Amino acid sequence: MPARRRCGVLGDPIGHSLSPVLHRTGYAVTGLDWEYDAHQVPAGTLADFLGSLGEEWRGLSLTMPLKREVMSLAGGVSPAAALAGAANTLVRDDDLTWRADNTDIGGARAALAERGATSVESATILGGGSTATSTGLALCDLGAREIRLLVRSADRATETVTALRAHPGRPEVVVAGLVDDVIGDVAVSTIPAEAQDPGLVARCARVPVVFDVLYHPWPTPLALAAGDRVLVSGLDLLVHQAALQFTLFTGLDAPLTAMRTAGEQALADRGVT
């Protein structure tokens, strides 16, 4: 077994990622002499990158555009990743094969629960990509029986609709446009801050829980308008999914508080409050 393990985050673009800060903090707190770096891996090149890695590599975090591409490359797939049709995590097993997992679902579920949203009946998700899938499945895990997807193009939400309808809770999934009503216990935004126009923000005003998956730029228009309502941030999601990855990679409990503090400091250093 290699004396030192390596992990990393892959994607394109990747320079903005906070994952190195979070995971390195976890290693420092737990006394692990491990490495974790960011690697730019464009779409269509993941197979070559994986083939270039030595046996010292233990785990990989995946961001866009690799979350669905990885599914055909893994030697094994967890139930969560299979349900989502996407993975944000690769774990190297002892036989050196890669196992795909999805900690975005558990991370979203934990982020909501941490803010007191432990039971959900219905929700609206803005956007229909892989993040909408993982947050939607988390909402289903928390009991949501109805989910509305508000999207610019219904065709782009097909994979998300299929995944949500396959959840064991068998929720009703409705697809509508971004100009339609926002209803339910939770409003989840997976769209860019610049797409959060005043009309959309106003339509979210009556939803008691606002979950914006962004952490930079922050605060977004939806976050600014949340007022005294429950607000779940992209940093909440990022820290919780990274903590789950940390445990999958190392077998140790993640130092969640230290990882969150490091993430907050890194954002403050970038001028994000």
pLDDT tens column, 48-79: 999 999 999 999 999 999 999 999 999 999 99
Q: In this structure, what CATH number is given to the domain that contains residue 128?
A: 3.40.50.720
Residue 193 lies in a domain: yes
Q: Domain check: are 225 and 151 in the same one? A: yes
pLDDT of residue 272: 81
| pTM (two decimals) | 0.95
Q: Domain check: are 191 and 226 in the same one? A: yes
Residue 146 lies in a domain: yes
Residue 1 lies in a domain: no
Q: Domain check: are 224 and 197 in the same one? A: yes
Number of domains the chain contains: 2
Average pLDDT over residues 97-126: 97
pLDDT tens column, 128-175: 999 999 999 999 999 999 999 999 999 989 999 999 999 999 999 999
Q: Domain check: are 118 and 183 in the same one? A: yes
Beta bridge partners, 8, equal: 37, 60
* Range of the structural domain that residue 94 is part of: 6-101+236-269
pLDDT of residue 4: 81
Question: Residue 93 burial by CB count (10 A; 0-12/13-18/19+): exposed, middle or buried?
Answer: exposed
The residue type of 263 is G
In percent, the amount of the chain with pLDDT more than 70 equals 99
Neighbours of 99 (CB within 10 A): 18
Q: In this structure, what CATH number is given to the domain that contains residue 25?
A: 3.40.50.10860
Average pLDDT over residues 242-270: 97
Q: Domain check: are 181 and 204 in the same one? A: yes
Question: Annotated catalytic sites, by residue?
Answer: 67
Q: Domain check: are 71 and 111 in the same one? A: no
Residue 2 pLDDT > 70 = no
Q: Domain check: are 42 and 139 in the same one? A: no
Give the pLDDT band of residue 1 (cuts 50, 70, 90): very low
Q: Domain check: are 112 and 217 in the same one? A: yes
Q: Domain check: are 218 and 156 in the same one? A: yes
Residue 250 lies in a domain: yes
Query: Are 237 and 245 within 8 A, CB to CB?
Result: no
Mean pLDDT of the chain: 96
Q: DSSP letter string over 192-229?
A: -GGG--HHHHHHTTT-SEEEE---SS-S-HHHHTTTTS
Residue 3 pLDDT > 70 = no
Q: Domain check: are 22 and 119 in the same one? A: no
